């Protein structure tokens, strides 16, 4: 059985305690990108099992990037993470929306 592949878009300001590290500890194969554009380019050639877009570590809400990813992977589950108290905007077309703080276990 192969490892599940996670496409993770996480900003550089995530610091040392990144979601990528936590997901790898859970035994997942994590393909990490720091921009939605680079994740989109990779996704056109590859098929992850799940997409996690951690907008809480980025400078944008990630809505446009999530929509672009959804356009080429309409059936791939997507989790959109955002800052605590951020205005609810569910237009990213994600399947699940998580608000910080959360644990890697909750993402799983």
**Average pLDDT for 40-65:** 86
Domain parsing of the chain, residue ranges = 5-107
Q: What average pLDDT does the chain have?
A: 82
* 10 phi/psi in degrees, rounded to 5: -140, 130
Mean pLDDT along residues 64-71: 90
pLDDT in tens, 6-47: 999 988 765 556 788 888 888 899 999 988 899 999 999 998
Count of other CB atoms within 10 angstroms of residue 84: 9
Name the CATH architecture for the domain at 5-107. Answer: 3-Layer(aba) Sandwich (3.40)
Strand partners, 1: none
């Amino acid at each position: 059985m192969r490892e599940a592949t996670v496409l993770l878009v996480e900003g550089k300001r995530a610091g040392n305690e990144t979601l990528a590290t936590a997901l790898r500890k859970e035994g997942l194969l994590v393909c990490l990108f720091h921009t939605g554009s680079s994740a989109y380019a990779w996704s056109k050639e590859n098929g992850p099992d799940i997409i996690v877009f951690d907008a809480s570590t980025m400078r944008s809400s990630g809505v446009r990037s999530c929509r672009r990813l959804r356009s080429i992977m309409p059936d791939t589950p997507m989790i959109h993470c955002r800052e605590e108290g951020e205005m609810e905007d569910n237009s990213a077309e994600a399947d699940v929306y998580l608000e910080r703080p959360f644990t890697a276990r909750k993402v799983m």
